[in-house]
Amino acid sequence: MKILIKNGTVIIDGCRRIENGAVLVDDQKIVGVYKDYQNIDCDRAIDVQNHYIMPGFIETHTHGDLGFDFNNCQMSDIYKISDALLDEGVTCFMASLTCENHEYMLNLLDEYEKCNVHNLLGVHLEGPFLSQEMPGVMKIESLMLPQIDIFDEYLQHCSKIKSMTIAPELDHALELIQHGHNKGIVMNIGHSNASASQVMEAQSYGAKGITHLYNAMSQHLHRNPGVVTGAFLSDLYCELIVDKFHIHEDVIQATYRAIGKNRIVLICDANPCKGLKDGIYEFSGKEIEIIDGKARVKETGRIAGSTLRLNQACRHMREICGCSMEDVVQMVTVNPAQMYGLNKGKIEVGYDGDIVVVNDQFDVLAVVNDGEIQKMSL
Average pLDDT, the chain: 97
At residue 367 the predicted structure's pLDDT band, cuts being 50, 70 and 90, is very high
Q: Is 231 within any annotated ligand binding site? A: no
Q: Is 246 within any annotated ligand binding site? A: yes
Q: Is 358 within any annotated ligand binding site? A: no
Q: Please give the residue that has the higher pLDDT: either 61 or 371.
A: 61
Q: Which residues are catalytically annotated?
A: 269
C-alpha to C-alpha distance for 102 and 159, rounded to whole angstroms: 17
Q: Is 215 within any annotated ligand binding site? A: yes
| 318 bridge partner residues | none
3, amino acid identity: I
Q: Is 191 within any annotated ligand binding site? A: yes
C-alpha to C-alpha distance for 228 and 107, rounded to whole angstroms: 35
238, amino acid identity: C
Q: Above 90 in pLDDT, residue 192?
A: yes
Global pTM reads 0.97
C-alpha to C-alpha distance for 271 and 283, rounded to whole angstroms: 7
Q: Is 118 within any annotated ligand binding site? A: no
Q: Is 212 within any annotated ligand binding site? A: yes
Q: Are 191 and 202 in contact (CB under 8 A)?
A: no
Prior bond of 128 cis (ω within 30°): yes
C-alpha to C-alpha distance for 145 and 167, rounded to whole angstroms: 9
Q: Above 90 in pLDDT, residue 258?
A: yes
Q: Is 222 within any annotated ligand binding site? A: no
* CA atoms in the 13 A half-sphere facing the CB of 280: 4
Q: Is 102 within any annotated ligand binding site? A: no
- For a pLDDT cut of 90, what percent of the chain falls above it? 99
Residues 6+ apart with CB under 8 A from 23: 4, 5, 6, 10, 30, 32, 33, 34, 53, 347, 355
Q: Are 275 and 268 in contact (CB under 8 A)?
A: no
Model pLDDT for residues 55-73, shown as the tens digit of each residue: 999 999 999 999 999 999 9
Model pLDDT for residues 117-138, shown as the tens digit of each residue: 999 999 999 999 999 999 999 9
CATH numbers and ranges of domains, the chain: 3-55+345-376 (2.30.40.10), 58-340 (3.20.20.140)
pLDDT for position 370: 86
Q: Above 90 in pLDDT, residue 371?
A: no
Residues 6+ apart with CB under 8 A from 97: 63, 70, 71, 105, 108, 123, 124, 125, 126
